[in-house]
Amino acid sequence: MKKKIILLAAILPACLIYQSCQNSVGKDTSENRYKNEKAYNDSLSFHREAVLTSSATRRMVSGLNDFYEHDLGRNFNGAMLVARKGVVIFEKYQGYSDFATKSPISENTTFQLASTSKPFTAMAILYLQQEGKLNIQDPIQKYFPQLDYPGVTIQDLLDHRSGLPNYLYFCNKYWKDNSELMTNKDVINIMEKYHPKAAFRPNTHYNYCNTNYALLGSIIQKVTGMRLGEYLAKAFFRPLGMKHTYVFNPNIDNARQNQAITYDYRTRPISDVCFDGVVGDKNVYSTVDDLLKWDQALYDGKLFTKATLRAAYTPYSNEHPGIKNYGLGWHLLCYPDGEKVVYHNGWWHGNTSSFYRFIDDTTTLIILSNRFNKMVYHVQPVWKVLHEATFATDDNGED
């Protein structure tokens, strides 16, 4: 018993010293974390203030207000956002998400992105390649053995050089009930059974084709074992905090709260057609704020390596020299001075969308509308405003 007391007496001071050290370490760690977070937040605040107060930003905002008032006009029904270096410098909402109930469009209103969905599908494919789960040089027969279009690779789907026929133009011949929504598998079954003629030999030239991205959506499902919407949520939407972004498939989903109804230019609601059940080429819903999060994630290396982004933004349609080109899921404007604009537009039913990324200055333009408005695409005045303001000299003497 005496030996135990002596041993305990020897151990207790050591334990107290250890506990004291642990408390001290914990305190230091907590204090350091607080200091680091404060320094980070202070840095963000300083960055935001610097961007918002620069003369270049002030010129941009003035020009953007003119564009919004005079070009988009009173008939615009949607949302517009412009950010510079990740800082929102212009954000406006106008009109109704539901004209019948007069529900106003807000920052939580989700819009059908139409073909502006394609970059999500493309980047998911590149993400899977980055993880070693596929190779974009794989032939499509690896995933669809009965699809008899030899020589077509995943990359040919990504850059629209597959030569495949567009399902929007041939499926009606074989799909008699327009009220019954097709699935991606239905499109593939029709192609396997009837083999509609290819437009040209693969990788001989560019031809924009929705079939390419329907097949890419199905490849993602085959590789991951998840529906496209589930995989995009797991890989992109949840990690990036895109709380209002999702793939909507009317075959299996109910309309969500704040989901904008689609209208034609006369404000008549547009009903679904048989193609509305096909995903990959369309059917991502999002907000302008969520798309800015997506835009910023394509800069900071959170998701993609430099090699992946370089491949995505490389022009592959060079048989027709000029400024316009296409990468892997992105339209490109490649100027002789090396400046590059990465963008994608969308149009499905009455939904119109524009998503422009001026990557040299990390400036972003997003316009979403649920009522058809062709002015959503006429953004040349905005390019001029952003370009002239970007390359003018700020008050602090920096370009």
**Across residues 169-178, what is the average pLDDT?**
90
Fold classification of 57-390 (topology level):
Beta-lactamase (3.40.710)
pLDDT of residue 176: 83
pLDDT band for position 33 (cuts 50, 70, 90):
low
Residue 10, pLDDT > 80, answer no
Residues 395 and 392: their CA atoms lie apart, in Å, by 10
- Close Cβ partners of 292 (under 8 Å, ≥ 6 residues apart): 81, 83, 86, 88, 364, 366
pLDDT, residue 389, reads: 67
Over residues 70-84, mean pLDDT: 93
Q: What percent of the chain has pLDDT over 90?
A: 72
Q: Average of pLDDT values for 225-234?
A: 98
398 pLDDT more than 80: no
- Here the tokens at position 320 are 């027709």
- How much is the pLDDT for 320? 85
For the ranges 70-79, 339-348, 384-393, the lowest mean pLDDT is seen at 384-393
| 387: confidence class by pLDDT, cuts 50, 70, 90 | confident
237 has pLDDT over 50:
yes
Mean pLDDT of 60-88: 93
Helices (H) and strands (E) in the chain, counts: 11, 12
Give, in degrees to the nearest 5, the angle at Cα 71 between 66 and 76.
110
Question: Which amino acid, 256?
Answer: R
What end-to-end distance do the CA atoms of the chain give, in Å? 80
Q: Of 174 and 21, which is predicted with more confidence?
A: 174
Of 218-227, 339-348, 387-396, minimum mean pLDDT range: 387-396
Cα gap 325→322, rounded to integer Å: 8
| pLDDT of 366 | 98
Query: What confidence tens digit (pLDDT) does each residue in 93-115 have?
Result: 999 999 999 999 999 999 999 99
Confidence class for position 177, pLDDT limits 50, 70, 90:
confident
Cα-Cα-Cα-Cα dihedral of 383, 387, 390, 395, to 10°? Answer: -110
Is 40 a residue whose pLDDT tops 60? no
Q: Is 97 buried (19+), middle (13-18) or exposed (0-12) by CB count in 10 A?
A: buried
DSSP classification of residue 164: P
pLDDT (tens digit per residue) in 111-133:
999 999 999 999 999 999 999 99
pLDDT, average across residues 252-278: 94
**Hey, where are the domains in the chain?**
1-53, 57-390
SS3 245: coil
Q: How confident is the model at residue 78 (pLDDT cuts 50, 70, 90)?
A: very high
Which DSSP symbol is given to 148?
Answer: -
Confidence of residue 178 (pLDDT cuts 50, 70, 90): confident
